[in-house]
Amino acid sequence: MTGVAIRATDIAKQFGKVTALDHATFEVPRGIVFGFLGPNGAGKTTVIRTLLGLLRLDGGEGSVLGFDVATQSDSIRERTGALLEHDGLYKRLTAEQNLDFWGRVWRIPRAERRRRMETLLTRLGLWERRKDAVAEWSRGMKQKLAVARTLLHRPELVFLDEPTAGLDPVAAAALRDDLEHLASEEGVTVFLTTHNLAEAERLCARIGIINKGRVVALGTPAELRDAVGSASIIIRGPSITPAHVAMLRTRAGIVNLTLLEDGVQLVLAPNATVTPLVRALIEHGAEIEEVRRERPTLERTFLDLIADDGHAGAAT
C-alpha cells in the first residue's frame, strides 16, 4: 500500500498559557510502523488526540487516511483503533464481555466477532482466562487485552500509546512481532509512542522526535543517527597510555577523545580518517589489537536532540 496515512502541517494546540503543539509538521506513510518519541509532556498524546478529533486544533491542518481532522473526524475514528494512555477496559466485566462489547461497537458480525476474539485471546495467551473479571488481572494481562481490543476490528491505522509498557519481555517481544506483521503483511499503519528506544529502533521504519510541541527530527532510525551523532572510533590496545593520548590530542581532525581502560575512544571531524592516527600510535610504541567504528545508538541521538532543543516538556 502506498500513500500518506497521516499528514500534519503546522498543527498547533494551546491549553491556556501552555503551548502543547507548536506548529508541528510531519507525515506518516501508509503501511509502516511509525515511532513517535519524546520526553514526558512533549505533546505526543496531544498529537494523537488531535488526529482522532478528540481535541480541536488551534492552527494548522491535519489529515488521517485522507480525512480532514477538523471536519471528518467521524470517518477517521471509523477506520482507526486507539490504545491511549489508559487501557479503556471495563474492569467489572470479563475479558470476553469486554471484547464482545468492543466488537459490537465496531459492528462486527457475531460469528466473526467470536472467531476474532478467540484468535486474539489465544495469540496473547489469555483464552483460558476469558471468563475472569478484568479487575482480577495483572497490569501486563490488562495491557495485552487492551491491545486485543484495539486490533479487534482490523483497523487501517492504529494509534498505540506505549503499548509494551507493563508487559513482560516475552509478551513485549510477541507484541512487537505482531505489530511488524500487521504493517508488513496486512498493510496496517502503526503510529506508536514509546519510551523504549531500543524497541523503536528495532520496530519503526520511520521515527519522529517531538519536544515542547515541535517535531525536532524526522526520518529513518539510520538517517536520524547519521544526521545527529558522529560515529566514534574505538582503538583497543592494553599498552595505550596517557602519553599516547596526549600525543593524539596534538593531531588534527579529532573532535573528542577519551582514554578507556584498554584503549581510546575518538570522535573524528567530518572528512578525517583514522589510519594516520593508528599509524602514529604504532610509531609511538603502542600495540593495537582492534580498531572499530561504533555508530551512535538511537538513544544517544535522541538525548542529543532533546539536549540541543532544551529538555523541558509542555503538555501531556
Partner 1 sequence: MITDTLTILRKEWLEFRDQLLRLRRGGISLIVIVLLLGVLTPLQFGPDWLSSWIVMFYFPTLASSMASALIVDAIAGERERQTLESLLASRLPDSAILFGKMLAALSYGSAFVAVNALVACLTLNIAHPDKAPLFFQARFGTLLAILTLAACLAQTGIGVFISLRSKTVRQAQQTFGIIMLVIFLAPALVFQLLPPERRFSIIATVRGWGMEQIALLAALVLGSIGISAAMFAWARFRRGKLALD
Q: Is 1 helix (H, G, I), strand (E, B) or coil?
A: coil
Half-sphere exposure of 28 (CA within 13 A, CB side): 33
Considering the complex, state which of residue 101 and residue 127 has its C-beta at the smaller distance from partner 1: 101
For residues 290 and 69, give the distance between their C-alpha atoms in angstroms, rounded to a whole number: 55
Looking at residue 151, its amino acid is: L
The least distance separating partner 1 from the CB of residue 309, rounded to whole angstroms, comes to 27
Considering the complex, state which of residue 49 and residue 176 has its C-beta at the smaller distance from partner 1: 49
The least distance separating partner 1 from the CB of residue 45, rounded to whole angstroms, comes to 10
Contact 294, 264 (CB under 8 A): no
The least distance separating partner 1 from the CB of residue 82, rounded to whole angstroms, comes to 4
The least distance separating partner 1 from the CB of residue 54, rounded to whole angstroms, comes to 4
Q: 290-311 as b/e, with b when 16 or more CB fall inside 10 Å?
A: ebeeeebebeebbbbbbeebee
Find how far residue 230's CA is from the centre of its chain: 22
Q: Is 263 helix (H, G, I), strand (E, B) or coil?
A: strand
The least distance separating partner 1 from the CB of residue 18, rounded to whole angstroms, comes to 12
For residues 18 and 155, give the distance between their C-alpha atoms in angstroms, rounded to a whole number: 33
For residues 229 and 242, give the distance between their C-alpha atoms in angstroms, rounded to a whole number: 26
The least distance separating partner 1 from the CB of residue 263, rounded to whole angstroms, comes to 52
Considering the complex, state which of residue 48 and residue 207 has its C-beta at the smaller distance from partner 1: 48
Considering the complex, state which of residue 148 and residue 228 has its C-beta at the smaller distance from partner 1: 148
Listed in sequence order, the residues at least 6 apart from 234 whose beta carbon sits closer than 8 Å to its beta carbon are 260, 263, 264, 265, 290, 291, 292, 293, 294
Considering the complex, state which of residue 91 and residue 181 has its C-beta at the smaller distance from partner 1: 91
Contact 308, 227 (CB under 8 A): no
Which residues lie near partner 1 (CB under 8 A)? 15, 49, 52-56, 73-74, 77-78, 82-93, 97, 101-102, 104-107, 133, 149
C-alpha cell at 280: 602514529
Considering the complex, state which of residue 87 and residue 201 has its C-beta at the smaller distance from partner 1: 87
Considering the complex, state which of residue 105 and residue 246 has its C-beta at the smaller distance from partner 1: 105
The least distance separating partner 1 from the CB of residue 161, rounded to whole angstroms, comes to 10
For residues 146 and 82, give the distance between their C-alpha atoms in angstroms, rounded to a whole number: 9
Q: Where are the alpha helices (DSSP H) in 53-168?
A: 73-79, 95-105, 110-123, 139-151
The least distance separating partner 1 from the CB of residue 220, rounded to whole angstroms, comes to 29
Considering the complex, state which of residue 7 and residue 79 has its C-beta at the smaller distance from partner 1: 79
